[in-house]
Amino acid sequence: MVTITSSQLRPLLLSSLVIACLFYLYAFPPNWSSGSTKSAHVDQSASSAEQLVVVSDPHPNLPDPSLPPAWHNTTRANAAFVILTRNKELDDVRWTMRQLEARFNHKFNYPYVFLNDEPFTEEFKELTRGMTSAKIEYGIIPHGHWSYPEWIDVDKATALREQMGREGVIYGDNLSYRHMCRFESGFFFRHPLMLDYDYYWRVEPSVDFYCDIDYDPFLYMKENNMKYGWTISLFEYESTVRTLWPTVKNFMKEYPELIPENNLIDFVTNDGGDTYNMCHFWSNFEIADLNWLRGPAYLRYFEYLDRAGGFFYERWGDAPVHSIAAAIFLNKTEVHFFDDIGYRHNPFTHCPTRRELQKKCHCNADDNFDYSAYSCMRRWEEVTRD
């Protein structure tokens, strides 16, 4: 007969208790996240296709650490970086690609489209390919997209350009700059290489990207039905756009059916549409919807402006042209301020100031341009306030 003393019984009881607990945990696993407002919550009542993910802190660049990183999801938007540049800017392009890859694209692997009014050199191709494992395409701009249209009086354009130069207007006497602004206003999105894509991220040589971007801004735009995204807004030089707003007003009068009621026009005017307040999104950074630019409203708008001649007789920039289009054609939910994308194009910087976002960046939040005198951020906040 086996006799068990009380001192032998205690470890036996303890181990049975542990086994019972383990069995209970196995049979009825606890929901550790229930009741936690910080974690993601999946709405079980929705069908799997429309499961609603509610995160208490909804900033897309502060993903829930308990979920897999966004780039593990293999879904991508149909999107590309687009870089208009010259061969001589190779080193500046590489500088920028280095940061873009490190901060975002080595995780997401979006392709690049390089465009130029001249052929890219083999050196340019080889040394840009070295910066990324993503696909790169190199395109030449068709002559008609980088030349005077037939209705422009070239002598008049030349005289006005020289006069602007004498007046000291920045790029005042620069013809290629005007071709560039016209191309970026009306043609880049119709370049054959761009027709494959739905969204673009415009990048320029020598700009800086300061922050980790841990989500996909293209998908974010797509899923939220956004058409235009920006990160710096500021005032335009009035001398370059004197007749732009009167031309836009005529356009709106002729095509009222293209102008929705709840648009963002107050971002670009302080007097209900009478005059332009010079506010614009700085178009050297843009993440936007190519199909919006290729759509009938924008195309009609661009053609109207192009006929008016201000790309050559004045020096209309693609930034005010895009921005006014966003303001008259879109509503506030369709235009997005990428506050989390730390960015610099000389001489202005956008650097996130919210601490959790700033932690992902190497810019100095004291350099943030948003509330300086030349910024249009205050106007943006006024017009988008609920």
DSSP 171: T
**Does residue 117 interact with ligand GDP by CB under 6 A?**
yes
By DSSP bridging, strand 79-84 and strand 343-345 are unpaired
* Nearer of residues 205 and 342 to ligand GDP, judged by Cβ: 205
Work out how close the CB of 97 gets to ligand GDP at its nearest, in angstroms, rounded to a whole number: 13
Q: Is 236 a catalytic residue?
A: no
**Residue 342: count of CB within 10 angstroms of its CB:** 29
**Does residue 85 interact with ligand GDP by CB under 6 A?**
yes
Q: Whole-angstrom Cα distance, residue 383 to residue 337?
A: 13
Q: What is the largest CA-CA distance in the chain?
A: 119
CA dihedral 358, 364, 367, 368 (to 10 degrees): -10
Q: Where in 279-298 is the site for ligand GDP (CB under 6 A)?
A: 284
Q: Where in 272-301 is the site for Mn ion (CB under 5 A)?
A: 284
Nearest to 272 by CA among 243, 293, 300, 252: 252
Q: Which does 116 bind (CB under 5 to 8 A by kind): Mn ion, ligand GDP, none?
A: ligand GDP
Nearest to 188 by CA among 68, 37, 81, 34: 81
Work out how close the CB of 204 gets to Mn ion at its nearest, in angstroms, rounded to a whole number: 5
**Does residue 172 interact with ligand GDP by CB under 6 A?**
no
Judged by CB under 5 A, the stretch of 68-76, 84-92, 203-211, 286-294 that binds Mn ion is 203-211
Read off the tokens for 226.
């956004």
Among 117, 137, 198, 204, binds Mn ion (CB under 5 A): 204
Q: Where in 304-323 is the site for ligand GDP (CB under 6 A)?
A: none
- Per residue in 345-371, is it b (16+ CB within 10 Å) or e — as a string? beebbbbbeeeebbebbebeeeebbbe
**Element containing residue 289 per DSSP (H, E):** strand 286-289
Q: Where in 185-214 is the site for ligand GDP (CB under 6 A)?
A: 204-205
**Does residue 86 interact with ligand GDP by CB under 6 A?**
yes
Q: Whole-angstrom Cα distance, residue 229 to residue 218?
A: 10
Residue 112 backbone dihedrals phi, psi, to 5 degrees: -115, 140
Query: 112 near 131, Cβ under 8 Å?
Result: no
* Nearer of residues 84 and 164 to ligand GDP, judged by Cβ: 84
Read off the tokens for 334.
């369709």
Judged by CB under 6 A, the stretch of 24-32, 47-55, 121-129, 173-181 that binds ligand GDP is 173-181
Q: Which residue among 89, 286, 314, 334 is the active-site one?
A: 286
Q: Which does 15 bind (CB under 5 to 8 A by kind): ligand GDP, Mn ion, none?
A: none
What is the contact mask toward Mn ion in residues 110 to 129, using x (rule: CB under 5 A)? --------------------
Q: Where in 55-84 is the site for ligand GDP (CB under 6 A)?
A: 84
Number of residues that bind Mn ion (CB under 5 A): 2
Find all residues with CB under 8 Å of 295, minimum gap 6, and list them: none
Classify 24 as helix, strand or coil. Answer: helix
CA dihedral 11, 13, 16, 20 (to 10 degrees): -130
* Nearer of residues 176 and 372 to ligand GDP, judged by Cβ: 176
Across the strands, what pairs with 139?
115
**Does residue 89 interact with ligand GDP by CB under 6 A?**
yes
Work out how close the CB of 320 gets to ligand GDP at its nearest, in angstroms, rounded to a whole number: 12
Work out how close the CB of 174 gets to ligand GDP at its nearest, in angstroms, rounded to a whole number: 8
Number of residues that bind ligand GDP (CB under 6 A): 12
Q: Which active-site residues does the annotation give? A: 286
Residues that bind Mn ion (CB under 5 A): 204, 284
Residues that bind ligand GDP (CB under 6 A): 84-86, 89, 116-117, 176-177, 180, 204-205, 284
